[in-house]
Structure 1
Amino acid sequence: MQIKILAKAAVAFVILVGSATLPYRAYAQTPAPATAQTEPWVSTAWLESHLHDPNLVLLQVGEESQYKSAHIPGARFVRLDDFAATSGELSLEMPPAPELRQRLRGLGISDGSHVVVYFENNQVSASTRILFTLRSAGLGAHADLLDGGMPKWRSEGRTLTDQSAAAARPGTLAPFNLQPTIVDAAFVHAHARQPGYVLIDARAAMYYDGLEESGADDHHRRGHIPGAHNVPFTSITNDDLTLKTPAELLALFRKAGVKPGDRVIAYCHIGQQATVVALAARAIGIDAVLYDGSFEDWTMRDLPVEL
């Protein structure tokens, strides 16, 4: 797949907040500036021709039973939990840098690795959350999603195996600090109602519209964060789960009110589905950060919502 360099842009969200009842978690205080990006995915044809590259680390996310039944040769099975903090109140949180580094090393990831993540069945957002985590570790320039994942690989009749990959040798990965890719309620509170921000809710419309409840188990709420625009994560992909074209992705953001020079913060239920939106933003040069914890964190703080 030819990698296209795309125009620079910037984007972000207005989040309207009230008083918080839980202590704020310290994440990035300001989003990173937007830079020109390349498409953060590779084609099935590209991957097939690079399966034997010595620096390739291929990761399959999904169900372990499916991995054992059939997977792309050389792939290692991973769970989303392998890339999440082991403690905390929320369902999904970014691990601290030292903990994340040890996990990545355990998967054989080194500074010079090219990591490709792919999904089994329809678990696109689990794959993009892993990809987002790699980007937060500073590895985004050498980490990609397999466009269309296993469904596309299968449909094209490409090689599969049931032989598990050899155990990974620990990678050589220098210590790192997390990149400013995530924000918390403190950032939201500090930037409430400021012009030039656009809030994107990546959940399905039924949650955004308040037809179904969402949030923490004991803090279920209907509706969305005030000021948010709805771009469901499923709108980022085609019916075959391949990513839409850059022009189509840009049109989605424009329809949501994102203008040149705006900045985007994406949120969803727990910080997983919104990473699909963040991936799309990266593909068209938009600066987008993730509200980690998302609506779950918002409702636990008893912050306002609207229908």
Structure 2
Amino acid sequence: MSDYAHPETLVDTGWVAEHLNDSKVRLIEADEDVLLYEVGHIPGAVKLDWHVDVQDPVSRDFVDQQDFEKLMSRWGISNDTTIVLYGDKNNWYAAYSFWLFRVYGHQNLKIMNGGRAKWEAEKRPYTKEVPHYAPTTYHAQPANEDIRAFRDQVAAGLKDANRRLIDVRSPQEFTGEMLHMVNYPQEGAQRGGHIPGAKNIPWSTAANSDGTFKSAEDLREIYGGKDITPDKDVITYCRIGERSAHTWFVLTQLLGYPNVRNYDGSWTEWGSLVRAPIERP
């Protein structure tokens, strides 16, 4: 991991095992399957439910700064706490959480490389015990939306020669062959295809078979080979932003790209916009 631009943002399962009782470290499990936590989780980890904890109940947006502060305080997290995120699906939602926590300015963030799958493969301990921590007073920064892209910004840059859009979905989603993902009714769109000019680099190309991230050399070859280079203005997207956050993490934290934003509105929004341009083969 030393070859990554920011190796401090990754820890392995052994590091996590050694810090289970470290009061300065807080483990957060963020899963696509929100029931997994109850089946068993790493001792001391708290549960982040994406359907409840960080979504505004009315608008399609994240919780505001005040509610984010309440969430962190409830988990006993201080501004100097080291947060380690992990989850299922190759850390989709762990990367999504990392990105959102950076929006609100938390700096001591890490992802457990390999997520739940690697912890389980190594037969490390799980528990069903839910931890309780004394509440803290947490102070978030105002939302930094420099790492977040919105539909108007995406539309305005479609003819920008320095802009690179990365569609991290599967080839079948990219072409429009698969309009709705099975078991993901909340991620539907009215039309299939992709945003004009987008390059299809599925998020999974950045992951090894055990769920860990590929080497910096392999990652540079994957993205550089598609003309995704550090000098470009890059925007990633998928259906709702969680898979594209995985690619955002790869580009910004592992390769050190300076100008990468995650379009969390993604295809669920773009594919239903009136008059939004769409490409199909």
Give the TM-score of the pair, scaled to structure 1: 0.81
Alignment of 1:1-307 (within 5 A): 3-4=2-3, 6=5, 37-38=6-7, 40-62=9-31, 63=33, 65-81=35-51, 82-88=53-59, 90=60, 93-120=61-88, 122=89, 124-139=91-106, 141-165=107-131, 167-179=132-144, 180-214=146-180, 219-282=189-252, 283-286=254-257, 287-302=259-274, 303-307=276-280
Moved more, 268-277 or 54-63: 54-63
Q: Which amino acid aligns with 1:252?
A: I
Shift of 1:151: 1.7
CA, structure 1 residues 204+42, in 2 after alignment: closer, same or farther (shift >3 Å)?
same
- Is the 1:230–1:256 Cα contact (8 Å) retained in structure 2? no
Shift of 1:259: 2.8
Distance 1:256 1:94 in 2: 32
Shift of 1:97: 2.0
Distance 1:69 1:184 in 2: 36
CA, structure 1 residues 192+69, in 2 after alignment: closer, same or farther (shift >3 Å)?
closer
- Is the 2:98–2:109 Cα contact (8 Å) retained in structure 1? yes
Distance 1:148 1:175 in 2: 28
Distance 1:152 1:259 in 2: 30
Shift of 1:3: 4.6
Aligned Cα RMSD in Å? 2.2
Q: Which amino acid aligns with 1:284?
A: L
Distance 1:39 1:214 in 2: 37
Shift of 1:248: 1.4
Shift of 1:233: 1.3
CA, structure 1 residues 242+175, in 2 after alignment: closer, same or farther (shift >3 Å)?
closer
Shift of 1:83: 2.1
- Is the 1:198–1:228 Cα contact (8 Å) retained in structure 2? yes
Shift of 1:177: 0.7
Shift of 1:125: 1.2
Q: Which amino acid aligns with 1:155?
A: A
Total equivalences in the alignment: 270
**C-alpha deviations, 1:91-117, integer Å up to 9, x for none?**
xx3332222222222222210111111
Please list every run of 5 or more consecutive structure 1 residues that lacks an aligned counterpart in the other structure: 7-36
Moved more, 178-187 or 211-220: 211-220
Distance 2:250 2:159 in 1: 25
Shift of 1:214: 5.0
Indicate the SS of the match to 2:271.
helix
Alignment correspondent of 1:31: none
- Is the 1:214–1:296 Cα contact (8 Å) retained in structure 2? no
Q: Which amino acid aligns with 1:57?
A: R
Distance 1:155 1:175 in 2: 36
- Is the 2:188–2:268 Cα contact (8 Å) retained in structure 1? no
**C-alpha deviations, 1:204-255, integer Å up to 9, x for none?**
1101012111598785212100000011112121111111111111222112
Indicate the SS of the match to 1:94.
coil
Greater RCO between the two (CA within 8 Å, min separation 6)? Answer: 1
**C-alpha deviations, 1:169-188, integer Å up to 9, x for none?**
22322241112210212212
Distance 2:117 2:101 in 1: 23
Distance 1:275 1:218 in 2: 19
- Is the 1:60–1:119 Cα contact (8 Å) retained in structure 2? yes
Please list every run of 5 or more consecutive structure 2 residues that lacks an aligned counterpart in the other structure: none
CA, structure 1 residues 155+181, in 2 after alignment: closer, same or farther (shift >3 Å)?
same
